[in-house]
Amino acid sequence: MFVFPEIEAAGAICHACTTRLGGVSEGPFATLNMGFHVGDDPWRVRENRGRALSAMGAPGGALVAGEQVHGDGVAVVGPGDCGREWSPHSPGVPGTDGLVTASRGVVLSCYVADCVPVLLAHRGGRAVGLVHAGWRGVALAIPAKAVTTLCRAFGLEPHDFLAGIGPSIGACCYEVGREVAEACQAAARSSSVARPAGSDRFRLDLKEACRRELENAGVLPGDIFVSTLCTSCRNDLFFSYRAARGLTGRMAALMFIPE
């Protein structure tokens, strides 16, 4: 599993981003597919999730997920939401792509295969946030909205947070049209997040856009840590929707405040 050493060193938050290695799924979902919604055998997904949660010492039955609709909804969750894990029998929190909590033992989760997982950790362990950010979420500035929600809900300040921008598709492999590029540039307040790549085509850097949006929300630049790993380039290590042309598994980003 992938972790941010800077967040781990703070010692107050448990987190991880899974890879595609170490599970029991087969075929296009081999091997550690964490998503129920992609057509994999549900038993295998359940086993994979159990392995990942056990490896990071997460409490059983405490998983919470959003519905992941590629929007900008951010929900405050607590112990009563545990079990809303986006499974065949337990839908995620409706209309949300971001989750925040100040409750100990509540395991936030999101599921990605090129989209950006954005992890937010209060340096004193008072709260955590987790965001699923594809281009639509980036265009709606959901990373910044998650920071704002954390601060308003729990009386905190943006500069109290460390942020991790996890493995996701890089600008090297992500070409988009003008409309998408301009929407993300506007939300990030920076033209540098999308660079020309031919006639009305652009290379979009989702990770840089997320970084800019976190900065715009008040997170200190030196407290934002960005993975250089591209899921499409490294589809031996990660699931990539683009590299697989749609049929593939999902990684998970997981965060919780220990009891």
pTM above 0.85, yes or no: yes
pLDDT tens column, 167-201:
999 999 999 999 999 999 999 999 999 999 988 99
Confidence (pLDDT) at 101: 98
The model's confidence at residue 256, banded by pLDDT at 50, 70 and 90, is very high
pLDDT digits (tens, 9 = 90+) for 83-139: 999 888 899 999 999 999 999 999 999 999 999 999 999 999 999 999 999 999 999
Is 5-170+221-256 a CATH 3.60.140.10 domain? yes
**Residue 60 pLDDT greater than 90, yes or no:** no
Q: Give me the pLDDT at residue 254, please.
A: 98
pLDDT on residue 105: 96
Closest CA to 14 of 99, 109, 91: 109
> Between 206-216 and 178-188, two packed helices, what is the crossing angle to 10 degrees?
30
Q: What pLDDT sits at residue 11?
A: 87
**Distance between CA atoms of 160 and 120, rounded to whole angstroms?**
10
- Residue 255, classified by CB atoms within 10 Å of its CB into exposed (0-12), middle (13-18) or buried (19+), is buried
Q: Give residue 243's pLDDT.
A: 96
Average pLDDT value for the chain: 97
Cis ω on the peptide bond leading into residue 248 (within 30° of 0)? no
Cα–Cα distance measured from residue 21 to residue 52, given in angstroms and rounded to the nearest whole number:
10
Domain spans of the chain, in order of start: 5-170+221-256
Pure H helices in 89-141: 135-139
Tokens 């990770």 sit on residue: 207
